[in-house]
Amino acid sequence: MSFSPLINQLISAFKYLPGVGNKTAQRMAFHILQRNKEGGRQLAQILAAAIAEVGNCSNCRTLCELEICSICNNPARDASLLCVVETPADIVSIEQTGSFRGKYFVLMGHLSPIDGIGPEQLGMQYLRSKLQQGTITEVILATSTTVEGETTAYYIAEMAKGLPNITATRLALGMPLGGELEHLDHSTLARALNQRSKVV
């Protein structure tokens, strides 16, 4: 069924969100237009502001409005521990465990030659530079356990192997094969962090 042009555009816009199909997009659009126009206005304003103002931390590459994010700016964090994750959502998952007090580096993806995603697209040159500074003694590979995530972890482990005084570790028990980090419960992720093992 075809709706008015603006309604069709709104439904199509909601379908940009992951996991949102046509039916869900229609429900969202009609809910805002019928029952919550004020909420829709607020959503539009915040979304526009976030798109305009949110960028990447110049140090760890996570999403934030500032030049340096609050975690990188926190002097209480252990600068010798660097946890490498695929997405900013992974940082949120790890922080919710309360089990990690180091710092992060966000790849914004994983190695996938088929999709044209290589080391440069993931900022591996910046990661290598951080590892060469001599502050980091352990790099924790918290990529997903998909084939791409494992390949990415191996690539970084090999990078760390060629540098002095750096140990590369991988999240341990509780990480299901083929699983995504952001979908794990907090206790499982906390145990995986605490029982991480050496890669090479």
Confidence of residue 177 (pLDDT cuts 50, 70, 90): low
Residue 189: pLDDT over 60: yes
**CATH architecture of structural domain 5-53:** Orthogonal Bundle (1.10)
DSSP, res 145? S
Residue 156: pLDDT over 60: yes
pLDDT of residue 67: 96
More confident residue, 75 or 185: 75
Residue 173: pLDDT over 60: no
Residue 21: pLDDT over 80: yes
pLDDT of residue 1: 60
Extract long-range pairs of 9-12: CB within 8 Å, 24+ residues apart: none
Look at the block and give the residue holding tokens 């145990």: 191
pTM of the model: 0.81
Domains 5-53 and 77-198 share a fold: no
The number of angstroms, rounded, from the C-alpha of 175 to the middle of its chain's C-alpha atoms is 16
Confidence of residue 176 (pLDDT cuts 50, 70, 90): low
Dump pLDDT digits (tens) for 114-134. Answer: 999 999 999 999 999 999 998
Q: How does 132-160 read in b/e, with b if 16+ C-beta sit within 10 Å?
A: eeeebebbbbbbbbbebbbebbbbbbebb
The CATH class given to the 77-198 domain equals: alpha beta
Query: What average pLDDT does this structure show over 86-112?
Result: 96
Dump pLDDT digits (tens) for 49-77. Answer: 999 999 999 999 999 999 999 999 999 99
> What are the sequence ranges of the domains in the chain?
5-53, 77-198
pLDDT of residue 153: 95
Question: Rounded to an integer, what distance in angstroms lies between the CA atom of residue 192 and that of residue 183?
Answer: 14
